Structure 1
Amino acid sequence: MAVVLSDRIYTVEDYMKLDDGQRYELIGGNLIMVPSPSTNHQRITGKIYRLLSDFAEKKQLGEVFDAPMDVVLDNQVIQPDILYISKDKSSIIGELNIQGAPDLVVEVLSPSTATYDRKKKSRLYFKHGVKEYWLVDPDVKFVDVYVAGEKEWLWIGAFDQEDVLTTALLPGLEISLAEVFKGLK
């Protein structure tokens, strides 16, 4: 379970002053301590980041960032595992953080953050205009893909090691999930 510091309402300004060596997210005025990820989490994140980043750079479509990277959405600060920002939205990339919704967010689930990723962060991403959201579950080796609908996320499907992941946001990108999940312990 994630450690939530709820002794008071925290602001983005409070968050930016933190300097205790810990990683946090700011959701609903609460500071949520983000634990270090597992090795499987890092393996998956590294593979997806590299594939997305190499493709976006080669095709000059935009930029890909991985955690820790603060994304400021109004009075919330979150650190998605991976995020893609199209060239058209590059103005949201600041010197210290991202000031607005990325086009694509990828979260790799872990026991301590899965509830936040599936519910609170998912709602924030949708509300602020993220176009596509991938939830990667290392335990069952599945990726759930959601795209923004008119009033809520539309579930596109669950993809496993037999599938190749694509997205309209990066035309031509093909991610073999067999490769992504290969070597997990």
Structure 2
Amino acid sequence: MQTEKTDTDRLYTYDDYLKIDDDNQYELIGGKLILVPAPRTLHQELVGKIYRRVAEFIYDNNLGKVLIAPTDVLLSDTEKPQPDILFISIERLNIITEMNVQGAPDLVVEILSPSTGKNDRVEKSKMYYKHGVKEYWIVDPDHKTIEVFISGEKNWNLFQSYDDEDILTSPLIKGLQIQLKDIFQ
């Protein structure tokens, strides 16, 4: 279950996060330190399948880089998520450092888990929009759907909701096509 670290009134910074001396996985969302449990095996399988399809297209076409969690994405001093999958276009590769990604990826993919679903749909969604992510995919393993959102004038706009019989396309990554029956089988 995804839980906040015990001191609920304290606002944590990235420097505080770097000083944590335990083996747990954390995200920093709005100054709150969120403990991230080990994901289900289905979650990891979907990360691998989606990453493989996206990365193959990106690298074959020299469009940028694709990374997977746990990669720290430093959006601000109090916001450091670790998206399941992220894409950074070739024009913006300078935001990738040895330690982390400093700034918003072009595309973020989050695979829902029972413990993270609300956070991925609400808190992280707002955070990604606020910091300039251009496209956001929410993958629902239980319903076998992927919702693709694009950044609009005031909020996310739903580009398309796909199910396991569809071919996913991306408005950001022109030419990318993912046969979802291969992802969800």
TM superposition score normalised by structure 1: 0.96
| RMSD (Å) for aligned C-alpha atoms | 0.9
Q: Compute the displacement of 1:146 (Å).
A: 0.5
The reply on whether 1:99 has 2:88 as its aligned counterpart is no
1:9 maps to which of 11, 22, 43: 11
Q: Which runs of 5+ in 1 are unaligned?
A: none
Aligned to 1:51: 53
Q: Which runs of 5+ in 2 are unaligned?
A: none
Deviations 1:39-68 (A, max 9, x none): 110111100001111111110000000000
Q: Is the 8 A contact 1:26 1:32 kept in 2?
A: yes
Q: Separation in 2 of the partners of 1:6 and 1:152?
A: 32
TM superposition score normalised by structure 2: 0.96
Aligned to 2:114: 111
Q: Separation in 2 of the partners of 1:156 and 1:168?
A: 8
Runs ≥4 residues deviating over 2 A? none
Q: Compute the displacement of 1:157 (Å).
A: 2.3
Q: Separation in 2 of the partners of 1:13 and 1:78?
A: 14
Q: Is the 8 A contact 1:6 1:30 kept in 2?
A: no
2:170 maps to which of 162, 167, 172: 167
Aligned to 1:68: 70
Identity of aligned residues (%): 53
| SS of the residue 1:65 aligns to | strand
